[in-house]
Structure 1
Amino acid sequence: MHFLVGIVSTFVLAQGASAAFGLTSSSSRFIVDTDGGLVFEVNKSNGDITSLKYNGVEYQGTSKASGINSGLGTSTVTGETVNGYVKITVKSSALPVTQYYVAKPKDAMIYMATYHTAEVDPGELRWLARLKTSELPTGVHGNVGDTRGCTAIEGKDTFKCSNGQTRCKMYTSDRFIDDKVHCVSGSKASVCMVMPGVAYETSASGPFMRDINSQTGDSDQELYWYMNSGHVRTESWRFGLQGPYAMAFGATNYKPSDTLDTSFFSTLSIQGYVAASGRGTVSGTTSGVADGFETVVHFHNTNAQYWAKSTGGKYTSSQMKPGTYGVNLYKQEFLVANDTVTVTAGKTATKDIASKEPSLPVIWRIGEFDGQPFDLKNGDKIERMHPSDTRMGTWGGSFTVGSSKATDFPMALWSKEGGSATVKFTLTQEQVKGHVFRIGTTLSFKGGRPSVKVNSWTGTDPGAPTLIDSRGVTRGAYRGYGNVYTWTVPSSAFVVGSNTLTVGVYGSGDASWLSANYIVDALELQD
């Protein structure tokens, strides 16, 4: 009896030892047990993650591994325990990228950071976890990126289903300023990307940039964090350390905190990591943005970017690397002021910034100049579906000042689809004089810009805007450079009584929805 108890006790101890936190290895894999329910394996030759077991269930897909882009290729992969944490370093031989995987005891997360010194072909840098759709069938924002059973209608990424609804992985995106946690889920678990603190500091294109978060396919549920890409990008790449960020596992409907503490990275010798002691902050006041609009302060230079939302007219930035930064003030997403500030390590700089948007008297205005198209027709749907989706309203149309609503004017115009939009308005004798017509746009494709005609008068072509060589409105994007166009309309163009403004598109293209187009922010006739 005593001999049998000894055998059982030894077996139980062995089981406990196998579940303890730590790093082990085989001839081809590093195996990390977090002692928090998560065990993952890393290929020693290329740094791919080949197994992701949470509470005994395998979530890693079977066809392809998880990793940076589509894999870093041949790499030098090392594993070690540093100051109580497991650290795996993957230094690619083919790409200018070093990837770090870090595990913390009793924690069902893989903490990561990505260091890069140059742009990575084909122009994007992303974390991509290929997970099992059978275990995690629900993507970010539900089914908007679920392409199963649907047919490609544009490129290889935009699909239409038999019910006329459209799907695209870009429809899963959210603004960087809001996208701190996004998750895919199933009946047993959720798996989430967490981008806390200064995770976006080396990304590009500011607080309103959006990128792919997930895509649901027949076998794989793809979970992303896009660090840099060419998807409606308005800035050049930044280089250095991306992160820290994390992939977290939890129960169904689990959502980890977006204030995840990653300060322990300062003890791990991570290339490019700048600890809090080497950073400074900026605080101050904002003024001049009307109530009801979000106020955003954006800091940027060629090395880093940061942002903060102002509450009650006050803001404080996240911890920033030292340097001189441009400062943008936004009313929602409409630029209303800019300035500069210098950040010094260990200090808080003060920068008060006020809106410089002029207060102009107008005869009429459609929509709000806020850098967003959501208050116009179909604007409430454009982030999550293609313009041809059966749930969309018609495009083009007519607006009558005094009786129509903003939702009667289309949020986008095409040179080949949707036709033009007209605005009918009346003027008194006193109002028949010269006026300025102003139209704001948020994004353009193939040189699309407004054409305007008031009665028989035609405005001059304002010229093509700066090209963003990326599909936009058909992939759920609405944010570009935010151009505002004005025309001085002579008094001879107007008549007493009924007048008609026709708004169209300069530009061309060889496909209907991919012809020249632009997204409308707001338009007004100034008094």
Structure 2
Amino acid sequence: MKAIYVGSGISLVASAYAAFGANVVFTVNKRNCDITSLKFQGKELQWNSKGSHIASGLGSATVSAKRAPRWSLCVAGSLTQYLIARSGNPVIYMATHITAPHSVGELRFIARIRSNEMPNSMPLGDVSKTSGGSAIEGNDVFLVNGQTRPKFYSSERFIDDKVHCIGGSGRAACMVILNYETAPGGPFMRDINTNNGGESNDLYFYMNSGHLRTEDWCMGLHGPYAIHFTGGSISDGNLDTSFFKDLGIRGYVPDSARGSMSDQVSGVEAGKQAVVHFKNKEAQYWARADDTGNYKTPLMKPGSYEMTLYQGEFPIGKSNVQVNQGTITAKNLAGTSLSSGTFWRIGDWDGQPTGFQNADKFHRMHPTDRRMTSWGRLTYTVGSSTLGNVPMALVKGKNDPFTIVFNLDANQAKAATLRIGTTLSFAGGRPQTNVNNWAGPAPSQPTKIDSRGLTRGGYRGHGEVYTLNIPAGTLVTEKNTITINVLSSSSGTDFLAPNFILDAIELSQ
């Protein structure tokens, strides 16, 4: 079997034996590695104005074809892209290897599909469909038929996002992520999945980007990942890529050369999901624990890892572990609660603004969306208010200060500790707190993340927890008042003013 050259490209064929009797044919440009033609069931799906490619296109690359299975190898500087077709599978298998920080922009694969053939996004629908809209923030947030939509609203947490698709007319193209082991950011990282921007409906897999970036980019092999074509349904994601071990793909580590971790974790509050995360500079993995705390990781590359136990998305325990080839290593870990001697707590230590005002909407709506609850200044009275009286985010000059009213008895009105948990800061925003007539000290500026969050549905940052030691004589019996403002030397307009997203607030002694 030999590669078939068509015009200026390499045509790779994957015959499908599924019930709908389709096949997949894609053509790779020999000059730059763009997919310039993509046919499924005989229907051309590739957008004709731009190709499907890594990043925004490599510009130029050395492209070669191999056989059995038929595949294309593209090399551009420190980046190597693999595009593979396998007989009997309606799938484009892919992998991306880098040896240095990339100069091609964001490291992502983007398939640009004709929207008249596949207009829909699955499973989230039109939340990222921006066609026909007018820009309301930068060039990436749009107002469409009265609803706010950027492509960022298609994101899901990596731990939840194995498959996302576009489709229509009895066909679907599904991005299947077989692993995230070289993608930085951890299990709760999110990035763009789909965007119908008009003539093309784009299907993404983001590997490295600057969107709320908290870690260094990882070098090595990203993948395998794949586009799986179906008769219109969402792929189950169960693709066999064990044949990669026979292809000589750079950086590929077969199952036989891996190990894993399995044991039990504890210390997570009842009703909260326990997640175990393992990472080093080259790879990372994660696993959910069951209700009894038992966990088992996927197969991992051998090496030393930092192990973190999360309560929801809030870290409560760390350790170091060693993964060895061919073995299952046992490691238990007990988390430590942040709460001790608590008078009251607003929200949960889960690394998210769970239950707060608009927290159920902001992943898919801009703060200015008419479907949002109005962003007014709120007061929370301990013992009687609901979490809906707590803003998920405080924005400088917009909805600060946030006021908390509470009563203490004579045994409680002493020196105390106030903790304000945040998940993300924008433009240096951090809490400046007053307790009754006492002005708390200004906290240090948080680590800068040069990316929008609140207005693009993001909330994961470095998760700063600010601890305020309230001196004796400040709190009084009966009624007390805490006000929290946004402190920052920066400025901004509307919801791009300095802000921070809340996790929990707690007063203890």
Band of TM-score, shorter chain: over 0.9
Matches of 2:236 and 2:121, distance apart in 1: 19
Per-residue deviation, 1:430: 2.6
Per-residue deviation, 1:26: 2.5
Give 5+ residue unaligned stretches, structure 1: 1-20
Aligned match of 2:136: 153
Per-residue deviation, 1:22: 7.0
TM-score, scaled relative to structure 2: 0.95
CA contact (8 A) 1:22 1:33 kept: no
Aligned match of 2:180: 200
Q: 2:242 aligns with which of 260, 263, 280?
A: 263
Aligned match of 2:421: 440
Q: 2:54 aligns with which of 68, 77, 83?
A: 68
- 1:188 maps to 2:167: no
**Which secondary structure does the structure 2 equivalent of 1:46 belong to?**
coil
Aligned match of 1:401: 382
Aligned match of 2:112: 130
Per-residue deviation, 1:162: 4.7
- Point out the structure with max Rg over C-alpha: 1
Matches of 1:32 and 1:259, distance apart in 2: 22
**Which secondary structure does the structure 2 equivalent of 1:474 belong to?**
helix
Moved more, 505-514 or 372-381: 505-514
- 1:297 maps to 2:276: yes
- 1:309 maps to 2:292: no
Letter matched to residue 304 of structure 1: A
Q: 2:94 aligns with which of 89, 105, 112?
A: 112
Matches of 2:227 and 2:25, distance apart in 1: 13
- 1:35 maps to 2:15: yes
CA contact (8 A) 2:78 2:99 kept: yes
Aligned match of 1:324: 304
Matched length: 499
CA contact (8 A) 2:221 2:251 kept: yes
- 1:340 maps to 2:326: no
Matches of 2:468 and 2:61, distance apart in 1: 58
CA contact (8 A) 2:13 2:24 kept: yes
- 1:363 maps to 2:349: no
Letter matched to residue 221 of structure 1: N
Aligned match of 1:415: 396
CA contact (8 A) 1:416 1:511 kept: no
Matches of 2:24 and 2:194, distance apart in 1: 21
Aligned match of 1:380: 360
**Which secondary structure does the structure 1 equivalent of 2:299 belong to?**
coil
CA contact (8 A) 2:492 2:498 kept: no
Letter matched to residue 450 of structure 1: P
Percentage identity across paired residues of the two chains: 47
Q: Kindly report the root-mean-square deviation, in angstroms, between the aligned alpha carbons of the 2 structures.
A: 1.4
Per-residue deviation, 1:384: 1.0
Letter matched to residue 298 of structure 1: H
Give a deviation string over 1:213-240, Cα, whole Å, max 9, x none. 0111110101100001010011001001
Matches of 1:414 and 1:178, distance apart in 2: 29
Aligned match of 2:74: 90
Letter matched to residue 157 of structure 1: D
Per-residue deviation, 1:428: 2.1
Matches of 1:122 and 1:152, distance apart in 2: 26
Moved more, 485-494 or 516-525: 485-494
**Which secondary structure does the structure 2 equivalent of 1:452 belong to?**
strand
Q: 1:286 aligns with which of 260, 265, 268?
A: 265
CA contact (8 A) 1:22 1:32 kept: no
Per-residue deviation, 1:155: 1.6
**Which secondary structure does the structure 2 equivalent of 1:491 belong to?**
coil
Matches of 1:302 and 1:185, distance apart in 2: 37
Letter matched to residue 119 of structure 2: P
**Which secondary structure does the structure 1 equivalent of 2:228 belong to?**
strand
Give a deviation string over 1:279-327, Cα, whole Å, max 9, x none. 1111111111122111111111111111111113111111111111100
- 1:50 maps to 2:36: yes
Letter matched to residue 169 of structure 1: K
**Which secondary structure does the structure 2 equivalent of 1:144 belong to?**
helix
Letter matched to residue 108 of structure 1: P
**Which secondary structure does the structure 1 equivalent of 2:95 belong to?**
strand
Per-residue deviation, 1:142: 1.2
Matches of 1:358 and 1:397, distance apart in 2: 26
Per-residue deviation, 1:431: 2.2
Give a deviation string over 1:61-117, Cα, whole Å, max 9, x none. 1210001011112211111213xx11211112xx42111011111111100000111
Q: 1:79 aligns with which of 65, 68, 72?
A: 65
Matches of 1:325 and 1:203, distance apart in 2: 15
- 1:215 maps to 2:198: no
Matches of 1:416 and 1:116, distance apart in 2: 44
Aligned match of 1:3: none
Runs (4+) off by over 4 Å: none
Letter matched to residue 329 of structure 1: L
Letter matched to residue 415 of structure 1: K
TM-score, scaled relative to structure 1: 0.92
Give a deviation string over 1:381-434, Cα, whole Å, max 9, x none. 111111111111122311111111112100100113222211111222332211
Aligned match of 2:334: 354
- 1:522 maps to 2:504: yes
Aligned match of 1:8: none
Matches of 1:417 and 1:51, distance apart in 2: 49
